Structure 1
Amino acid sequence: MRRTCLAAVAALLVPALLGAAPGGSGETVSLSGTEPGQRLDVTLVRVVDPADPAGPEGPAPDASTRLVAVQLRLENTGTAVYKDSPAPAAHLLDTSGQRFTGLNTATTAGDSFPDTVTLSPGGAADGHVTFRLPEDSVPAAVQFALNGGLADDVGQWSLP
């Protein structure tokens, strides 16, 4: 039990110590990319847990897993065009310290982001990123970074 608690605390604190911008559901976090002029305001709109697959084409959960969908709003507040893939740029952390990478899996929670989102300065897009978690996993936080998740500036939203 103690090890699990320590892992959960580490999963939440390490990004904060490395410069992650904190936030809670509904909060907007401003993030920079690796190239000049890359800047997005990212808002965690809602979390749907569990999320049902939208059709047979996507990977459905089995008896040991479930899907969790996260709705994000991306607004280009920079001077450069934003062209990136939001799903692999998003991660979900659970209370045991596991990290899950986002998928472009359609769910009944709402529309997924396309594989590539292109936003001119001032443009905005809303969409869902889906995560496959073990059935007993408890989501603790969502993270997002530009440049396919590789930018140093990482936004993090704690989940209740």
Structure 2
Amino acid sequence: MYARSRTTLAVLAALGALTLTACETGNTVVDKPKSSAADEDEGSAKGSSKEKKKENAPDIAEVGDTLTLRGMENGSQLDVTVVKVADPAKSADQFMEPDAGKRWVGVQFKLVNTGEAAYSDSPSNGAQVADSEGQQFDTTFGDITAGPTMASSVKLKPGAQGLGWVVFEVPEAAKLATVQFTMDSGFADQTGEWKLA
């Protein structure tokens, strides 16, 4: 009976390890920006020294870069650009302010539907910022003076684009390091990440 219990425990431990491994597969962070035609022209004009330099240095997305992300639905794909960051962001409404000890940060996203399926989602549900200590912060409701807020429900046919600000509330002393965006209200397998600092 003791040997049977040990065998059962060993089988359960192996199944648990397989389950943990399976949970981690399929979730990827995309942080390599899409190359533009201008970058490629510049690279060919300057020759192979620039190509070698580009191969040696990791290419991590920053403000202004575009990442291509896939959604859960077949043919669902966006080119997502972090256009600008307003830190701190000023409220456009005199009656809405960040809580005491907090500040607002605005991130302007540009979404271009490069897939074959229509895109319909609430983009702010899939956005987060993180500070240098790894603490993550979700979006908040608020209009800022930097520009129009991203619509709460965005619908884009293939080839269409959307643009707007997403607002986050973070501690006053937080040093933001990254911003992330995931399609399907944060449930898609691919998460885009841009370096802020």
Aligned AA for 1:135?
E
**Inter-partner Cα distance in structure 1 for 2:98 and 2:112:** 31
Aligned AA for 1:34?
M
Deviation string for 1:100-139 (max 9, x for gaps)? 1123421111111111000000000110000000000011
8 Å CA contact 1:104, 1:112 repeated in 2: no
Please tell me whether Structure 1 or Structure 2 has the larger radius of gyration of its CA atoms: 2
**Inter-partner Cα distance in structure 1 for 2:165 and 2:65:** 16
- Counterpart of 1:109 in structure 2 is 146
Q: CA RMSD in A?
A: 1.2
**Inter-partner Cα distance in structure 2 for 1:105 and 1:63:** 15
**Inter-partner Cα distance in structure 2 for 1:83 and 1:104:** 20
State how 1:42-81 maps to structure 2 within 5 Å.
42-56=80-94, 58=96, 60-81=97-118
Count the aligned residue pairs. Answer: 142
Return 5+ residue gaps in structure 1 as ranges.
1-17
State how 1:107-146 maps to structure 2 within 5 Å.
107-146=144-183
TM-score by length of 1: 0.85
- Counterpart of 1:10 in structure 2 is none
Deviation string for 1:45-69 (max 9, x for gaps)? 11100001111454x1134000000
- Counterpart of 2:55 in structure 1 is none
Change (3 A) 1:81 1:57: farther
- Higher normalized helix content (fraction of residues): 2
- Counterpart of 1:21 in structure 2 is 30
Aligned AA for 1:88?
N
Q: State the secondary structure of the residue aligned to 1:37.
A: coil
Are residues 1:155 and 2:192 paired? yes
8 Å CA contact 1:103, 1:131 repeated in 2: yes
- Counterpart of 2:126 in structure 1 is 89
8 Å CA contact 1:104, 1:115 repeated in 2: no
How far apart are residue 24 of structure 1 and its match? 1.1
Change (3 A) 1:113 1:21: same
- Counterpart of 2:75 in structure 1 is 37
Aligned AA for 1:81?
A
Deviation string for 1:43-100 (max 9, x for gaps)? 0111100001111454x11340000000010000001110000111100011111111
Of structures 1 and 2, the one with the larger relative CO (CA 8 A, separation 6+) is 1
Q: State the secondary structure of the residue aligned to 2:186.
A: coil
How far apart are residue 149 of structure 1 and its match? 1.0
Aligned AA for 2:71?
G
**Inter-partner Cα distance in structure 2 for 1:104 and 1:122:** 28
Aligned AA for 1:40?
L
